[in-house]
Structure 1
Amino acid sequence: MLGELGGGIGAGIIEPSGGRAAGMIVATAGHVDHGKTALVRALTGTDTDTLEEEKRRGLTINLGFAYFNAGPHRVGFIDVPGHQRFIKNMLAGVGAIDAVLLVVAADEGIMPQTREHLRIMDLVGLRRGVVVVTKVDRADATQLATLDTELAGFLAGTFLEHAPIIRTAATTGAGLSALNETLTALADELPERPAAGNFRLAIDRVFSVIGTGLVVTGTVYAGEVHVDEALAVCRNALPARVRGIYSEGQAAEVAAAGHRCALNLTGIRREQIKRGDWLTAPDAVYTATQVDIELRVPRDAAQPLRHWTPVHIFHGAAHHTGRVALLEAPLLKPGDAQLAQLVLDTPMAAVRGEPCVLRNQSADLTLAGGHIVDVFGSRAGRARASRIHWLRQMNLATPQASLAALLAEAKEGVPLAAFQTAWNLTEAEAETLYRELELVQIDSSDAGGRVRIGLAPAHWQALLDILVAAVKAWHQKHPDDTGIRLPALRAGVSAKLSQASVEAALNVLVGAHTLQQTGPCFHMPVFAARLPESETLLWDAVKLQLEAAGMHPPTLSELAARVDTDQDTLIALLRRLSDLGIIARVQKNRYFLIMTLKQLATRFASITQIAPAGLVAVADFRDQTGLGRNLSIAVLEYFDRVSLTRRVGNGRRLVKPVDTIFN
């Protein structure tokens, strides 16, 4: 379908059809009218002025693309516009390139946009390139010598300081062979770009084609996509399906990281997607309005960047506004770098490592640039030393190094879903990483719901050891108590550890018979609390009364009168017996024998077998047990508290076997 469209949709495609990775993507940058488009046309035979307005005005207004073979490598050119007011288009072109051709006309030399483009490409982390002096046929020897001197000073301290400088003339073909050889050598050194991570496409054009439908073009930053796969728009989470992939004038089956591609989409309307949007896997949709970033101010900047400066933010083809919060110092001086947070007016769809550029409030001056560090920024505590340290670990080169560093220090664990999202890992990639690091995974909870926490094996073992030590210490200090309860254990371990982490560790210890649980208390297997003789006699009398009462135990006042004691003494005994797991308080003034509650729980379980959808109403439980309504409600609420049942609407569902609660 797409392959039949010829040049209409083909603008913007550089890689071979069906290829797994483009050989090299090269951006041509430099001042307007310095011959970038003519140079690309001379190398490739392709005119990148693809829009009518471009043809009419002789300008590269939008991103133009072409390709050619440099030895065994496929080289794709992004011809970015040179006019200052089209900087946002240029930024869309440099987001995922491998190298740059910095073009300088011999007859004009270094111009304002030459400096602007080099500044931006240096800020976003480009490290490979070639300097091409064009129009050498229009300059004399003196001009060329002067330009050589100017270029040496201009390039000093930048990533192009030691780059090859090739003199060319597109009209005569001078220097093109040398440039071809240089590009071939550059491509030879280029590491292969893996198609890892969830698919991410930065959309720079959206249009409709008669007979085909909706088409988007852009650069694939990560992952890969195949025909008929499902995607989603990050901004609004709307789903779309890939009907076709267009590459090098014909249909392709796959587009992968490093490719320029056009996707024919179905399931989404033209007005629901726009330039600046990101397409990704449906389960990888995430946006944020606080994004942490490492920023660097250009070394030739006239002034430092100040905390809370209003900025325009360019990320891929997206354009945001917001403010920049500096996290390590109130000023960021020219040539320096520090961590910062972008506080955005609209949500950004970013992942760790992606470049962005900040311009001033008028969007006519580049202030700083850098790359995303974490997309889970928070205004609260964003400049704390612990947060800065976390960001430095997130800023390590690989997810393996980053997660290993975080796990080594985060005794409370690392939120795995957030880490996976920030690093744009697929589920399979994340699970492989977790296995390699042998981390312990625990389901926990926070204000936003259930989360998965990862703990380093050393921290997990330390937690187990600390819990055992805490139980032993409790026995020494409280020899008459059954054991220590969960809140006291948590307080003695770490306030940062989630309850779920402590519970998971206790479950392991109890399962291994290192600890035992009696009621709500944890104790050593060899420890057994004993009642003093005076309390033993009272307990014998209480037990007779509770056994006789069965499912209708007396109130505290009634029970105190029957055993001839005061309520304070009785309550102290009942609390101790509750710790021992012999009785349980079901109402404020009523205790049940555990064996009686087990009988009621067994009755509840049998009712679920005949209840509609397994849901037992209060009235059903009341009728089957003979308890009054109020006592039935109290017993059922106790079952909820001990996690035997869960309330669902007006009924309750059995969620655990009776023997796991009443053993």
Structure 2
Amino acid sequence: MDNNIIVGTAGHIDHGKTTLIKALTGEDTDRLLEEKERGISIELGFTHLQNEETESLNLNLGIVDVPGHQKFVNKMLAAAGGIDLTLIVVAADEGVMPQTKEHLSILELMGAEKAIIVISKKDLVDNEWLELVKLDILDQFENTFAGNAEMITVSAVTGEGIAKLKTKIIKLASNTKVSLNSEIPYYPIDRVFSLKGQGTVVTGTLFKGELFEGQELQLYPSAKKIKIKSMESHQKKLKKVRSGSRVGINLNYPDKNEIKRGDVISTADSLISTNFLEAKLKVLNSINFKIKNGDRIHFHTGTTEVMGTINLYGKQVAFPGDEIFIKIKLDHKISPYYRQKFVIRRFSPIDTIGGGEILEIDPPPRRKINSEKLIAHLNLLEEVDLKTALELFIKNMTGSAAELIQLKKKTALKTEKILELLSDLKEENKIFELKNDSSFIHTDNFKSIEKDIKEIVNDYHQQNRLKVGITREEIRSRLNFDLTKKELDKVLGILTTEQVLQEKDSLIAASNFSVQLTEKEKKQKQFILDKINNNYFSPPTRKELLAEDEELEAVINYLEHNSELVRLDQELYFDKDIFLKLQNLLRKYFRENESIELAEFRDLINSSRRYALVLLEKCDQLQFTLRRGDLRYPGKDL
């Protein structure tokens, strides 16, 4: 398996970064005419380092050369997130300069871990001066990620130290951990152009996952569909590339003007496009200004740069060296992933403020949450492992269940990996699954829903003492938590299994609830039943019963819900045994007669046409009778 490592340069303008890369690889990474005329790098430059040793180690070393001018720090930032090993270049004749420091700060904020300090232009100074430069570097790089980095002195003009530097680069690169491929592909674009006969080509570093020739993907944040026609890395055509690769992709997308630096290629429905982020900001010690709520900023992550505004949580002002949680509102949508590194710079003058990790992508509204609780939540997200972070994302969904697709977008993990982590959380009783592998709720939120449902049911019982229970849909309409019908069914199923609730005839009731009639209501019940049964096939209508006593309505409804009365239309109620009696009457009648018409049925039950018609139509539905024209014949269920 190939190991794909990106080596990037850093350092002040005119300290020899591009010349150094040419000495290492034989390639001039300054491709623009303006760069050659001015003698400075303006855009990112790309090449690779390859020799017999890298081939024997299956090591692919991509090289990214960054501009050193302060004006082009944004270009350096577009490369910094994908660098695995940094060559911090310091010219021997000038020593550490402002952009050396800023580049070093940016790399540290972006999570850089490995570096080689390259002291260039050795041929321009004597040994005594060289030793002073080394001491200055040690002093200024102390307590940074490059504090213990090896220093190698070189001259790109004479070639001194170049072979030693190559050996060191290969050694460090071969020991660099390859990114895991449990994540979705994440490919930030840093360059877009067209090639005659090929069409649109993009270049970038594959931060995460894998890409395949022919793969159908999505462009973010626009959500446009794209497809990979072909891929090339280090001048080789490839069918598949893995994380850490520097790769050019030929897309079957006709208009290159619709793609720009900062756009991201990934699988469909795998990233959130948003203007809002929450993050931990580490303010640089070196700045000489303070940060205020509402400050305008330049926000950098991946290869994107976008303007925005920051809000500080728990403070109105942040000072040099502070670490603080912030909310970022961006002018345009971006599509980052959880714990992606970022850097922010001041709006004007453009100085680097600090950076950190993105913790919440598209966070929910925070109007009702106090700052202490919010800070505690973000602090947890910063410290926990992926499984616990997944649990927190589910727990943070306080208004609805967490959908699998949302969790995929929040974590930038493959579906299989998320389901594996979710399975662990279920076994640990941290979450409930409401729909198979697609909808989940945290145990704490489930308990809150249980409490709300019990209150809804008990309130219903108090308002409707003589009703057996409440419908599922009414429970759903009263809940503050947004559940689909299937999700609510699952919740109610769990609560009935645990005997918190009971279900009868699709109605939900408290487990200890039963209808209890008062003495007065018992008398009303008997009065109604007597009235119905004394006029068995011609009972009084609902309206007629209520005309005698308006308070009978609740008891009538109770008798209906309790199946002691059968209701056939808005007004007519019959005894519960009405159909058994009708069945017996019809059986006896059809023993002697082939068919029956409405008038004959009316006479059979000794009732009026109104009652006879309703009852006979019900007999048709029950298939006691079979209608042909105006006649009825014995039905199959008689």
Deviation at 1:411, TM superposition (A): 8.5
2:352 to 337, 347, 366: 366
* 265, 270, 280: which one aligns with 1:294: 280
1:35 partner letter: G
**Cα deviation per residue 1:65-90 (whole Å; 9 max; x = unaligned)?**
22225653332221111111111111
Is the alpha carbon distance of 1:585 and 1:540 closer, same or farther for their aligned partners in structure 2, counting shifts above 3 Å? closer
- Residue in 2 aligned with 1:61? 42
Match of 1:177 in 2: 163
Which whole-Å CA distance do the structure 2 matches of 1:455 and 1:549 have between them? 57
1:566 pairs, out of 540, 543, 549, with: 549
- Contact (CA 8 Å) 2:390, 2:411: kept in 1 or not? no
Structure 1 pair 514–358 and aligned structure 2 pair: CA distance change class (3 A): closer
Instruction: Give the residue type in structure 1 aligned to 2:524.
Output: E
1:252 aligns with 2:238: yes
Q: What's 2:23 paired with?
A: 42
Please give the secondary structure, in 2, of the residue aligned with 1:195.
coil
Confirm whether residue 442 of structure 1 aligns to residue 434 of structure 2.
Answer: yes
Mapping of 1:105-120 within 5 angstroms?
Answer: 105-120=91-106
**Aligned residue for 1:337?**
323
The DSSP-based 3-state class of the residue aligned with 2:357 is strand
Residues 527-542 of structure 1 mapped to structure 2, 5 A cutoff: 529=516, 532=519, 533-541=522-530
Which residue pairs with 1:275 in the alignment? 261
Change (3 A) 1:530 1:379: closer
CA contact (8 A) 2:7 2:62 kept: yes
SS of residue matched to 1:258: coil
Post-superposition Cα deviations, 1:6-64, rounded to whole Å, max 9, x if no partner, equal: xxxxxxxxxxxxx7550x21211001110111212222222212233333333222211
Cα distance in 2 for residues equivalent to 1:125 and 1:581: 70
* AA of the residue aligned to 1:453: F
- SS across alignment from 1:425: coil
> Which is further off, 71-80 or 206-215?
71-80
Aligned identity (percent) is 25
Q: 1:161 to 1:580 in 2, by over 3 A?
A: farther
| 1:106 Cα deviation after fit | 0.6
Question: Which amino acid in 2 is paired with 1:145?
Answer: E
SS at match of 2:324: strand
Paired residues for 1:151-230 under 5 Å: 151-230=137-216
Q: Look up the match of 1:309.
A: 295
Shift of 1:108: 0.6
Q: How far has the Cα of 1:386 moved from its partner? A: 3.4
Q: With structure 2 as the length reference, what TM-score do the two structures score?
A: 0.77
TM-score w.r.t. length of structure 1 = 0.75
Instruction: Give matches, 1:256-267, under 5 Å.
Output: 256-267=242-253
Q: 1:546 to 1:141 in 2, by over 3 A?
A: farther
The residue aligned with 1:137 is 123
1:243 match: 229
Q: For residues 383 and 593 of structure 1, do their structure 2 counterparts lie closer, same or farther at Cα, with a shift above 3 Å needed?
A: farther
1:226-625 paired onto structure 2 within 5 Å: 226-362=212-348, 364-378=350-364, 380-381=366-367, 384-396=371-383, 398-404=385-391, 415-416=402-403, 417-438=405-426, 439-442=431-434, 452-456=439-443, 485=470, 503-510=489-496, 515-518=501-504, 520-524=507-511, 529=516, 532=519, 533-541=522-530, 554=541, 557-561=543-547, 565-567=548-550, 569-577=551-559, 580=562
Residue-by-residue CA offset, 1:570-625 (whole Å, 9 max, x unaligned): 233245446657789999x86989999x9xxxxxxxxxxxxxxxxxxxxxxxxxxx
The separation in 2 between residues aligned to 1:135 and 1:425, in whole angstroms, is: 45
**Could you tell me which residue of structure 2 aligns to residue 125 of structure 1?**
111
Q: Secondary structure in 2 aligned to 1:422? A: helix
Q: Decide whether aligned partners of structure 1 residues 515 and 52 sit closer, same or farther in structure 2, where only a CA change above 3 A counts.
A: same
- Kindly provide the amino acid, as one letter, of the partner of residue 572 in structure 1: A
Give me the whole-angstrom Cα distance separating, in 1, the residues matched to 2:453 and 2:72.
65
Q: Which ranges in structure 2 are unaligned for 5 or more consecutive residues?
A: 580-609, 611-638
Shift of 1:160: 1.2
Question: 1:315-355 CA distances to partner (integer Å, 9 max, x unpaired)?
Answer: 22222111011113222221222211111111112111222
Is the contact made by 1:244 and 1:265 (CA closer than 8 Å) also made in structure 2? yes
The alpha carbon displacement at 1:243 in A equals: 0.4
How far apart in 1 are the matches of 2:536 and 2:448?
Answer: 41
Q: 2: CA distance between counterparts of 1:265 and 1:346?
A: 24
Identify which range, 71-80 or 295-304, moves more after superposition. Answer: 71-80
Structure 1 distance, partners of 2:515, 2:238, is 73
| Structure 1 residue 285: Cα displacement | 4.6
Q: Conserved in 1, the CA contact under 8 Å of 2:11 and 2:68?
A: yes
For residues 311 and 235 of structure 1, the distance between their equivalents in structure 2, rounded to whole angstroms, comes to 20
User: 1:188 offset after TM fit, Å?
Assistant: 4.1
Q: What is the distance in 2 between the residues matched to 1:471 and 1:341?
A: 37
Q: Shift of residue 531 of structure 1?
A: 6.5
Deviates more, 1:344-353 or 1:510-519: 510-519
8 Å contact from structure 1 (residues 328, 383) kept in 2: no
Structure 1 contact 80–90 (Cα < 8 Å) conserved = yes
> Which of 1 and 2 has greater Rg?
2
